[in-house]
Structure 1
Amino acid sequence: MGTHTVVNQPPPRVDLDEYAANVPLQEAVERYDAGWATAELGEVGRHVGTAAFQADAERANVREPQLRAFDRWGNRIDEVDYDESYQRIIRSAVAAGAHTAAWAEPRPGANVARAATFMLFAQVEPGHACPISMSHAAVPALAANPVLAEAWVPRLLSREYDGRLVAGKTSALFGMAMTEKQGGSDVRANTTQAIAAGDGRWLLTGHKWFCSAPMSDGFLVLAQTGGGLSCFVVPRVLEDGTRNVFLIQRLKDKLGNRSNASSEVEFDGTVGYLLGEEGRGVRTILEMVNRTRLDCILGSAAGMRQAVAEATWHARHRAAFGGRLVEQSAM
């Protein structure tokens, strides 16, 4: 610069192995029967530590998802456009099995290895971890209906990523939608209704106040029936290739987690399929919710790890008052 020389600024913390740098994570992996995954976790650690991945993580949170409710001709399409940086991130997370590897290849330590993989990705870019986590958690929940499990689980176990809303995909991601305006966390106050339409189909009418990752292929949704609050699988694309009614009203303006689109949606004759017993919707969906809660803990720990790593890096590379920050007595 013509006005001054930039000095005493830490270099970017990039192009390192985030797994090798995380000794507590390595120790936990070894302690809890997942040492066999060390090589794969090293690959993930080096991948998320690259300058390219970290640039994508920053870009995905600046170039935020955009709602496209209609196409140029006025047809309702209810799509969300994600920046290519986000697409690259989630594609690599799926390829690494951060979503469903523990279900696809069960063995001692499989959930530990999958958790470590999830943490490494979430450490650098937490937004995409939401659909990754929900897809992981959907697998055991779908077991409540063997027919639905047979249709969806093989696609969830795939390590291919396809973000399009089209029929015939061999892979899938899942989401869930519970909260409504009047109830919030009190889902028993939900008013969305489901009416049996025959052939195993139900038609849902109502809304959801918070629905993340709306471009997922399927959702677990709570709705009231004559038998009480029940759980349904709602696909974005129907078997005949047509779009299900999934009316995205707007995207939330959130504090952080900007790369992850969270939406408000409405249902108007939306096709759903009963999962579990009628009237036992909360119990059914808790199979999914509880596992996402565990991932929330993992993601929070990953975020704290990143914060400490960045702060320590800064303290080691910046000087003040005659010495490096890390050498100061207050540190």
Structure 2
Amino acid sequence: MAYRPTARTEATRLVYRQRLLDAARRLLAEGGYAAAGISALAERAGVATGSVYNRFASKQELLAVVFRHVAGHELTAVQQAWADPKPGAAVARAASFMLFAQIEPGHACPMSMSHAVVPVLQRDGEVGRDWLPGLLSRSYDPRLIAPGSKSGLTFGMGMTEKQGGSDVRANTTRAVPMASDPDGRAHLLTGHKWFFSAPQSDAFLVLAQAPAGLTCFLVPRVLADGTRNTVRIQRLKNKLGNKSNASSEVEFDGTWAVRVGEPGRGVPTIIDMVNHTRLDCVLGTTAGMRQSVSEAIWHARHRSAFAARASRFSSATTPSSLTAFESRRTASSSSP
């Protein structure tokens, strides 16, 4: 028989959850992400470190709740160099990206896309006026509601299809103009995307074959009237790593979309977003290397074997030194 917690047990769990969340808010406010480790979180909340995860269904749930509901607005804030484009803003944003990507890299992709889509929408003022205020917001809003009612917005992207792979000009998804739209902007999409990044996002840039050729479109997850758009998730990718960053396969069936950029100029329109996300791939890789260096050096300094610290053996220190050198060189070459 499956275990069923009593009402008292469930009530206690909810109390501890709230204490942990409150403690996380205080720690983040006082010392940023570096101060919000599990041990510090447990101490501030007054619970045993080993029992922190017991207050949630899983480690993933704890991370999701803390990062989404406590730190989400801060993560969005450090992403938006566009909101305050003063000298050095891009460098500060890059440094922030590399720092928080070492804590939990799973959210780096949707934050990167939400940053990268801004210049695309800035070039299309007719579409951008509805979406840029939410993208440039300092808030994170996880609610599945009409985008105009949200305090902050995130973006994803979908280009790849089964038959084409990287050759997006071989895409078969069709875009049919809606006769009811006199401006010719609104279309209905029919087709699929084999790789649809961050399906929890509020909107997505996609490519589809329109009458004028391959064109870029914005597909909202929820329409302006609050109804859900027909973005049908077929499955989540079973990836080797980075599983906390959801990627999916989706189908479009009369899916509402609005054209972005010029008809038939889909690749030149979306490539600016692609370019900025690829720059973030360099920053994210640098963050992963830096995290590896930190863990390797900590291991060498604290691991004991044969009555001695691992740092006394060249087999431990040499790889750590080489990794540290490569990490520093990569960080220098990836600076904006």
Q: Could you tell me which amino acid in structure 2 is paired with residue 255 of structure 1?
A: L
Counterparts of 2:211 and 2:306, CA distance in 1: 72
Match of 2:151 in 1: 170
SS in structure 1 at match of 2:117: helix
Could you list the runs of 5+ residues in structure 1 that have no partner in the other structure?
1-39, 65-82
Give the drift of 1:117.
1.0
Counterparts of 1:191 and 1:320, CA distance in 2: 59
Q: Report the aligned-residue RMSD.
A: 2.6
Give the drift of 1:150.
0.9
Counterparts of 2:77 and 2:102, CA distance in 1: 13
Give the number of the structure with larger relative contact order, counting CA–CA contacts within 8 Å between residues 6 or more apart. Answer: 1
Q: Is the counterpart of residue 291 in structure 1 residue 269 in structure 2? A: no
Match of 1:269 in 2: 254
Match of 2:161 in 1: 180
Of 238, 256, 274, the match for 2:223 = 238
Match of 1:9 in 2: none
- Structure 2 length as normaliser, TM-score? 0.75
Dislocated runs of 4+, deviation >3 Å: 42-45, 47-57, 96-100
Give the drift of 1:256.
1.0
Give the drift of 1:94.
3.4
Distance 1:232 1:311, change over 3 A: same
Q: Could you tell me which amino acid in structure 1 is paired with residue 151 of structure 2?
A: T
Of 171, 194, 207, the match for 1:222 = 207
Give the drift of 1:88.
2.5
Of 284, 290, 315, the match for 1:305 = 290
Q: Is the counterpart of residue 253 in structure 1 residue 231 in structure 2? A: no
Give the drift of 1:85.
2.3
Q: Is the counterpart of residue 153 in structure 1 residue 132 in structure 2? A: yes
Give the drift of 1:321.
3.4
Give the drift of 1:225.
0.8
Distance 1:153 1:307, change over 3 A: same
Q: Is the counterpart of residue 103 in structure 1 residue 82 in structure 2? A: yes
Q: Is the counterpart of residue 46 in structure 1 residue 31 in structure 2? A: no
Instruction: Specify which structure has the higher proportion of helix.
Output: 2
Q: Could you tell me which amino acid in structure 2 is paired with residue 226 of structure 1?
A: P
Give the drift of 1:102.
0.6
Counterparts of 2:292 and 2:88, CA distance in 1: 27
* Percent of matched pairs sharing the same residue: 59
Match of 1:320 in 2: 305
Give the drift of 1:121.
1.1
Give the drift of 1:322.
4.0
Q: Are the equivalent residues in 2 in contact too, given 1:44–1:120 (CA < 8 A)?
A: no
Question: What CA deviation, in whole Å up to 9, does each residue of 1:7-45 have, x standing for no partner?
Answer: xxxxxxxxxxxxxxxxxxxxxxxxxxxxxxxxx9x9445
Give the drift of 1:49.
5.0
Question: What CA deviation, in whole Å up to 9, does each residue of 1:250-306 have, x standing for no partner?
Answer: 111111111111110000110111100111101111110100001111111101111
Counterparts of 1:237 and 1:191, CA distance in 2: 24
Q: Are the equivalent residues in 2 in contact too, given 1:44–1:117 (CA < 8 A)?
A: no
- The alignment covers a number of residue pairs equal to 272
Q: Are the equivalent residues in 1 in contact too, given 2:140–2:151 (CA < 8 A)?
A: no
- Structure 1 length as normaliser, TM-score? 0.76
Question: What CA deviation, in whole Å up to 9, does each residue of 1:222-257 have, x standing for no partner?
Answer: 000111110001001111111111000011111111
